[in-house]
A and B are shown apart, each in its own frame.
Chain A
Amino acid sequence: MKRSAWKLCFLLPMALVLLTAPAGAMHIMEGYLPAPWAFGWMAVCIPFVVTGFLSIKKKTAREPRAKVLLAMCGAFAFVLSALKIPSVFGSCSHPTGVGLGAILFGPTATTVLGLIVLLFQALLLAHGGLTTLGANVFSMAIVGPFVSFGLYALLKKAGAKPALAVFTAAALGDLATYVTTSIQLGVVYGNFLQYLSIFALTQIPLAIAEGLLTVVVFNVLEKYAKEDLRALAVL
């Protein structure tokens, strides 16, 4: 792919977040983590972000065509985090959309996508926050993608159908993000179970929705981009 096309693929989603910035109904609110925790989580995230940048660089150098897919994974995360969906538990939350990226490009590459989303959410829509960015990156862009990636690999090895593996990986990765958020608040404020009921319980139907939507996109990729998926070692 030409350099200009490569730029376009990256700039499109970048412009997207810049212009719009999703509101999160899930992230830890600005200023609500005491400073030691806030900076601690940031420090934890740094190695993942660095590895992620290197991983994207390596993967796109080897598979230039994959850049288009990477851009699409970013776009997928933006759309899904714009969809605040009511849950049967009487509150609203939104999916994370990072499962697709994790399955296609691995967990750390997805950390970078998630970081971009969260950064602009914090800057433009006052959701999440700069001080809580580390904690939120850890839950949504590290734990979620790692769970999705691990589950997909495991299920693929066990011989599950790709669609089923994708559904399970995306849904449980989504849920894991919110369980992590609950733990992060629980260790600071106690009441872990209450936070779990606020975040994780709300999230159960949404996690299923995210799993289904990820399968929708994956079905199309499986039919029309089989070669790309093979090159990325997804199939």
Chain B
Amino acid sequence: MKLWQKNLILVLLVVLIAAVPLWLCRDAEFGGADGLAEELIVETHPDYEPWFSPIFEPASGEIESLLFALQAALGAGVIGFVLGRMTARKPEEKA
């Protein structure tokens, strides 16, 4: 099997892993795991006061998702750049 075929299958598997829960648990809220942990702490230790709060918080969900998209895009860009250079090497350099 060629490299790209192998990798395509692996990536499709990842997509499947991410998509299947949306099918299986349609009623689920899909909240963040950290939020659930926070709820549990508040529930079991109602008198605990967080003694420090975040210095900066994104102003809205939109801005947060902007930062997310930027993060993924830039990270993917660096990876693509490095792998692109690597795979463009002359054939005799390939091991």
Residues of A whose CB lies within 8 Å of any CB of B are 12-13, 15-16, 19-32, 34-35, 68-69, 71-72, 74-79, 82-93, 122-127, 129-131, 178, 185, 189-191, 194-195, 198-199, 202-203, 205-206, 208-209, 212-213, 215-217, 219-221, 223-227
Contact = CB atoms under 8 A, between A and B. Distances in A.
A96 to B, nearest CB: 13
Nearest to B72: A82
Contact of B95 (A29, A32, A227): A227
Nearest to B8: A216
A88 B72 contact: no
Interface in B77-91: 77-79, 82-83, 85-87, 89
B18 A30 contact: no
B81 to A, nearest CB: 8
6 closest A-B pairs by CB: A31-B50, A90-B28, A226-B95, A20-B71, A79-B75, A25-B32
A107 B20 CA distance: 33
Given A20-B70, A21-B67, A79-B76, A32 B50 contact: yes
Contact of A88 (B21, B32, B87): B21
Contact of A21 (B34, B71, B89): B71
A200 to B, nearest CB: 9
Interface residues of B, number: 60
B34 A29 contact: yes
Contacts of A127: 34
Given A32-B41, A82-B72, A130 B30 contact: no
A16 B21 contact: no
A199 B45 CA distance: 19
A216 B32 contact: no
7 contacts: A75-B75, A75-B82, A86-B28, A89-B21, A124-B56, A125-B64, A212-B14
B37 A199 contact: yes
B54 A129 contact: yes
A83 B72 contact: yes
Nearest to B67: A20
Contact of B72 (A79, A215, A226): A79
Given A215-B10, A224-B86, A131 B52 contact: yes
A220 B72 contact: no
Interface in B13-59: 13-14, 17-18, 20-22, 24-25, 28-38, 40-41, 44-45, 48, 50-58
A20 B77 CA distance: 13
A224 B92 CA distance: 11
B51 A91 contact: no
A225 B30 CA distance: 39
Contacts of B87: 220, 224
A206 B78 CA distance: 23
